[in-house]
Amino acid sequence: MTRRLLGTLYIQVLIGIVLGLLVGALWPETGAALKPLGDAFIKLIKMVIAPVIFCTVALGIAQMGDMKKFGRIGGKAIIYFEVVSTLALVIGLTVGEIVRPGAGFNIDPASLDPSVTASYVKRAHAESITDHLLNIIPDTFFSALTGGDLLQVLLVAILFGFACTKLGEAGRTVAGGLEKIVKVFFGIIHMVVRLAPIGAFGAMAFTIGRYGLASLLPLGTLVACFYITCLLFVAIVLGTIARLIGFSLWRFLSYIREELLITLGSSSSEPALPKMIEKLERLGAPPAVVGLVIPTGYSFNLDGTNIYITLAILFLAQATNTDLTAMQMVTILLVAMLTSKGASGVTGAGFVTLAATLSVVPAIPMVALATIVGIDRFMSECRAITNIIGNGVATLAVARWEKVLDIAQLQAELKRGPIAAEHKLV
């Protein structure tokens, strides 16, 4: 029994995380030096993300053969994203006002080092909204597959899929080829994901070794408040949506436990993306819906990032004794609805988005960001986990809304659990 348990991937990832915590805490320099292990695993996974999304989306559209239906699915996804992500922003703002985690810090902005946050502030102001929209269009067809921007991949995949629907028999032949290609890439993913325990070990050892558990103590109230808020959001908001769809959220979380642990270990939701696509399809969501909702959600449906933005801004206002008017709070909410759409699933993007949102409230000194740089890495893990859960539920919700979700398959698969063979190393 013990040998069988140790053979499952999620247990191995959990062991890797615990060992990483111990190494980082006991031997900080060694832990910090293990960063390449985590980086290498993330790069290996990101290597196949673009082709998997391209093949999945293009194949789904080609097989669907109905552009109006695809447009309808996209429209419903955007509506869902706006409603749920705005709710996350409001929850973060509300909790920040009620709990007031920054009260009593009495931080003097003049005592802070502005160079600590200079790079984040520069990145936050590097692009206008117009630039961001134009960047969705890749320089070339193939640069979309190498640049790492999921929205660019989604754009070329949609165009490719639409073109296949216009070609008749030739298009169906191409779709058949894509179906075989995507199986090859999923085969690569199954091999790479076996390295997840090593990647999680290296990433966690680096985080603890570099920043130290001691850095959590002074700002522990904010970290605890954020984690509890995300937990409540998942349990209440996403749990309610899951019940309306017709499944148990807790069974769903158990079903994707490997992906959650990989996300926890790497502080990024991107390494778990390919396997999430595969599992959501196995749960009864059509490939076209999965391929459209998941990558789009990585830019438009980041629930954890949204909670973080409004909660962190209120923390900084309270910590610097800055009183915000009702109008300023409404402005923060409206601007965050836009800036949060530019964030991606990678580590650090949430902090850049926070800097961009904070810039619209001059009353709060931008240099105040320096107070939470040290703990941002610890909160990025919770952001990423909340984001990936939110996008998983969003995919099933849109499929249900479109009446293409196989409920019987969903419930049966959740009851059965992940296939045991996939958890074992060979």
Residue 237 is given by DSSP the state I
Give the position of tokens 């408040």.
225
User: What distance in Å separates the CA atoms of residue 394 and residue 250, rounded to the nearest whole number?
Assistant: 15
**Going by CATH, does the domain composed of 2-423 fall within 1.10.3860.10?**
yes
Q: Tell me the pLDDT band of 151, cut-offs 50, 70 and 90.
A: confident
Average the pLDDT over 284-294 and give the result. Answer: 86
| pLDDT of 158 over the 50 cut | yes
| pLDDT of 424 over the 50 cut | no
- Identify the CA nearest to 132 among candidates 146, 152, 160, 157: 152
Residue 395 pLDDT: 94
Provide the whole-model pTM. Answer: 0.80
Residue 378 pLDDT: 77
- Give residue-wise pLDDT tens across range 28-52: 888 888 888 888 888 888 888 888 8
- Cβ contacts of 7 within 8 Å, gap of 6 or more: 423, 424, 425
- Give the tokens for residue 76: 């419903």
- The domains of the chain are located at 2-423
Average the pLDDT over 84-108 and give the result. Answer: 86
Q: Rounded mean pLDDT of the chain?
A: 81
Q: Tell me the pLDDT band of 343, cut-offs 50, 70 and 90.
A: low
How many residues in total does the chain contain? Answer: 426
